Amino acid sequence: MEELEEKNDREMLKKLPTEKLLDVLFLHIRNLWRVDGLYFLGIEEKFGTEAATEIDANCWKILAKIEARDLKRTLGIETVENAETLLYLLRNTSWALYQTKKAVEVDASKKAGRFRVVSCKVQEARLRKGLEIFPCKRVRYGYLKSFAEELNPNFEVKCVVCPPDEKPQNYWCEWEFKLKDKG
């Protein structure tokens, strides 16, 4: 039996055409979210929505810090001094890549920016299954706050809108990231 290491897997993946490699990447992102959803639903069924939400929120806070550090290292970014860099890193997270339609805006000073989820796969899947909209603000806020603070503790995160807030017609949630004034 041939023993394989990460370098063998890298060589195998290098042989894939770029589009197929991206397909594999997005397949694994979907699988990560499938596992997240299955765990959440299992915990919710056994212990209730509040317990599932609390566990989910804590897991995502921890993941946010890990993801922020790993993305900085992987993408070769030493410091995050503006919203443009923060939003670039955020767009590379499994959460953002999982969202098929999103919008990003950075102000002219680059001190503030917004991230909007136009089409939320999690919420839309819940609706297709006949489930209620999940009030995800607590989970997502904790994740985004931990992510931003890990990159630069001078970032503030504000929820513009997110369930259980009333859903705007054309999107699900929107988040604002702003550098605090030093002084």
**Cα separation of 159 and 17, whole Å?**
39
Q: Residue for token digits 């997502």?
A: 140
Q: What is the pTM of this model?
A: 0.92
119 pLDDT tier (thresholds 50, 70, 90):
very high
SS3 (DSSP) at 21: helix
Check: CB of residue 71 under 8 Å from CB of residue 89. yes
Domains, the chain: 6-179 (3.30.1380)
Tell me the pLDDT tens digit for each residue of 27-62. 999 999 999 999 999 999 999 989 999 999 999 999
DSSP secondary structure letters along 37-84: HHHHHHHHHHH-HHHHHHHHHHHHHHHHHHHHHHHHHHHT-----SHH
